[in-house]
Chains A and B, each alone.
Chain A
Amino acid sequence: MSSPSSSTTYVKLKKNKHRDRFKLFFMALPFLILCFTFSYLPLYGWIYSMFDYRPPFKLYQCDFVGLKWITSIITNPAYRNAIGDVLRNTFAISGLNLLTSVLPLAFAVFLNEVKRGWFKRIVQVLTTLPNFISWVLVYSVAYVFFSTGDGVVNKILIDMHIISSPINFLASDNHTWLSMTLWSLWKTLGWSAIMYLAAIAGIDQELYEAAKVDGAGRFRTMWNITVPSLLPTFFVLLMLSVANFLNNGLDQYYVFQNAMNKAHIQVLDLYVYNIGVGSMNFPLATAVSMLKSIVSIALLFTVNGVSKLLRGETIV
């Protein structure tokens, strides 16, 4: 901006500046309204947990019951048991996902040892692909391979006379937690490794040269150079998955659920859907998802605090 040569242009510029402040704001306003509508307005929906709300009626036609539904989670034995089971599933599946979160790191560390560039690239590109496939399609793949009637795995096993009647892999409650973890691992392993591969690309190659001169073997350099330089990334990702401990998402568990595996597949998100949209119990579903949101935010702050304490750096 050129310096004002006389007082009139100075005043004019200042006036323009003032007008610009609001001009910019009004340009952003439509988007701020959208943001408010779809992210803040739903918070108002929490009020439904305090009414005996039944969908065809309007909210003001329903009885105000205060904290009845929220306390019923603890006091009503049926809800308490159901939610106990749901929490057990959530903890089991999220726990298994936390345990498997070292696998992408291992994937990256070992892929870094591969010296053929083309092989590395192919592995990286192709293992990332499942991440861009919807859960419905993952289920479709599962169906084509593991269903009883047309499933390929059953066809092959029967043709080879290993089994005599088809095994119903999908509609069974054996190893539900494990199979859910494996499917999500299949989908995300390559993708999660990318972050680590990017971090590895930033490691100073001289470190490896120096280690080699000092006589360090392959596993020594992997363990003492590659792994330590990935730990900060690992820590951040681990903290984020702890913060998302209760948020398993709906898609995966919804598409894989059936009458057989329901007892072990119902995680919190699916349970909220099932009691809300399935059984039309809006107040209870709202109460549960409200508590879930509050605990999630508390977890996020905790994790952020832990990160600040340990690394002197916040995550969010």
Chain B
Amino acid sequence: MLPILKKKEHYNFGDIVFYIITYLVFAALTIACIYPFYFLIINTLTANEISSKTAVLLLPQKIHFDNYVKILKLNGLTDALFVSVARTIIGAALTVFASAFLGYLFTKKEMWGRKFWYRFVIVTMYFNAGLIPWFITMLNLGLRNNFFAYILPAIVAPFNVILVKTYIENTPQALQEAAQIDGAGYFTIFIKVVWPLCVPILATVAIFAAVGQWNSFTDTLLLMTDSHLYTLQFILYRYLNQASSLASIMRNSGAGIGQSVSNLAGSQTAQSVRMTVSVVVILPILFVYPFFQRFFVGGIIIGAVKG
């Protein structure tokens, strides 16, 4: 009996063929989605003289962690790691706070011009001035080579505001009213009553905001020329694109980045550096993903119902 079939039911030949094909196709799709990441990880753990010559496909050979230790000595990588982590934490925290607070304020019917301001925010989901006008505006605001360029534009996210507002509207209002009668102000009610109620939806918002910040690439590309503000994504892109130059830098010790790379043991190859940086970039997502998967899914389903 095939393990994919349940014992008690009766299957005809057609059913069995159907199941075998369906399971095989889904297994293949799943492997196609996950194997590339597995491949990157085992190849960074395999001794570089093996991984550079043959394709290591299933298990790491001669496991070592040199790639990870040495990659930290690459010029700019620790800076980039710091910038990426900082923008992810600060950006996500502010987005969560803004979405929660704004969502809460928009449930208050007594707010001056509530309907107008709500639409004012929401409508920004549907239009976009365009890349160059946005770029010029950012320059005029002095946000070129400025860390705040990563944070400020992302704080007010209309979709998140809708999510939180709808969520609050579906929670019992009695708690808020009770707090109001006890003399609590709007902000106290928000912190003491509304925030704890909204934790599930805020977790979803936090996850999406954090992933968005971590993966963001275009803003660095457009706005940052100061290498201290480069993110991991951007550094990775540069390593990928300067493949040949990186390889030659690693062979001949030169100036700048060359010096730091030539400090690495000779066993490091351009490919091993690229793969190691890729793993560093993807690892946080791989770690976070299994725990927060239900929040990701929860988010899209709530979004679908409202949208």
Residue ranges of A at the interface with B (Cβ–Cβ < 8 Å): 1-2, 17, 20-25, 27-28, 31-32, 34-35, 37-46, 48, 107, 110-111, 113-116, 119, 122-123, 125-130, 132-137, 139-141, 143-145, 147, 149-150, 152, 155-156, 159, 186, 189-191, 194-195, 198-199, 218, 233, 236, 247, 250-251, 254-255, 269, 272-273, 276-277, 282, 285-286, 289-290, 292-293, 296-297, 300, 315-316
Q: Does B175 contact A (CB under 8 A)?
A: no
Given A21-B110, A22-B112, A289-B130: A32 and B117 interface contact (C-beta under 8 Å):
yes
Q: List 11 A-B contacts (CB under 8 A).
A: A35-B121, A35-B124, A38-B152, A43-B129, A128-B297, A132-B285, A137-B236, A139-B240, A251-B218, A289-B133, A296-B127
Given A137-B278, A140-B240, A186-B32: A28 and B117 interface contact (C-beta under 8 Å):
yes
CA distance A313 to B30 in the complex (A): 36
**Contact between A282 and B278, CB atoms less than 8 A apart:** no
Q: Does B196 contact A (CB under 8 A)?
A: no
Taking residues whose C-beta sits less than 8 angstroms from the other chain, chain B's interface range is 35 or more
**Contact between A132 and B133, CB atoms less than 8 A apart:** no
A128 CB to nearest chain B CB (Å): 7
A264 CB to nearest chain B CB (Å): 19
**Contact between A233 and B304, CB atoms less than 8 A apart:** yes
**Contact between B240 and A198, CB atoms less than 8 A apart:** no
- In the complex formed, the residue of B with least CB distance to A153 is B55
**Contact between B131 and A285, CB atoms less than 8 A apart:** yes
- In the complex formed, the residue of A with least CB distance to B137 is A42
Q: Does B49 contact A (CB under 8 A)?
A: no
CA distance A45 to B57 in the complex (A): 51
Q: Mark B270-307, 1 if CB is under 8 A from A, else 0.
A: 11001100100110011001100100110011001001
B23 CB to nearest chain A CB (Å): 7
Q: Does B36 contact A (CB under 8 A)?
A: yes
- Most A Cβ at <10 Å: residue of B4, B136, B141: B136
Contact of A194 among B271, B275, B297 (CB under 8 A): B297
Q: In the complex, which residues of chain B have a beta carbon less than 8 angstroms from the beta carbon of A269?
A: 131
**Contact between B23 and A190, CB atoms less than 8 A apart:** no
Contact of A129 among B34, B111, B121, B271 (CB under 8 A): B34
CA distance A147 to B126 in the complex (A): 38
**Contact between A42 and B134, CB atoms less than 8 A apart:** yes
Q: In the complex, which residues of chain B have a beta carbon less than 8 angstroms from the beta carbon of A191?
A: 300
Q: Does B86 contact A (CB under 8 A)?
A: no
Q: In the complex, which residues of chain B have a beta carbon less than 8 angstroms from the beta carbon of A137?
A: 215, 233, 236, 278, 281-282
- In the complex formed, the residue of B with least CB distance to A286 is B132
B39 CB to nearest chain A CB (Å): 7
- In the complex formed, the residue of A with least CB distance to B290 is A125
Q: In the complex, which residues of chain A have a beta carbon less than 8 angstroms from the beta carbon of B52?
A: 150
**Contact between B29 and A127, CB atoms less than 8 A apart:** yes
Residue ranges of B at the interface with A (Cβ–Cβ < 8 Å): 4, 6, 15, 18, 22-23, 25-27, 29-30, 32-34, 36-37, 39-40, 43, 52, 54-55, 57, 98, 101-102, 105-106, 108, 110-114, 117, 120-121, 124, 126-137, 141, 152-153, 155-156, 158, 177, 180-181, 186-187, 211, 214-218, 221-222, 233-234, 236-237, 240, 243, 269-271, 274-275, 278, 281-282, 285-286, 289-290, 293, 296-297, 300-301, 304, 307
**Contact between A300 and B137, CB atoms less than 8 A apart:** no
**Contact between B26 and A37, CB atoms less than 8 A apart:** no
B208 CB to nearest chain A CB (Å): 10
Contact of B217 among A195, A251, A276, A282 (CB under 8 A): A251
A95 CB to nearest chain B CB (Å): 22
Q: In the complex, which residues of chain A have a beta carbon less than 8 angstroms from the beta carbon of B131?
A: 250, 269, 272-273, 276, 285, 289
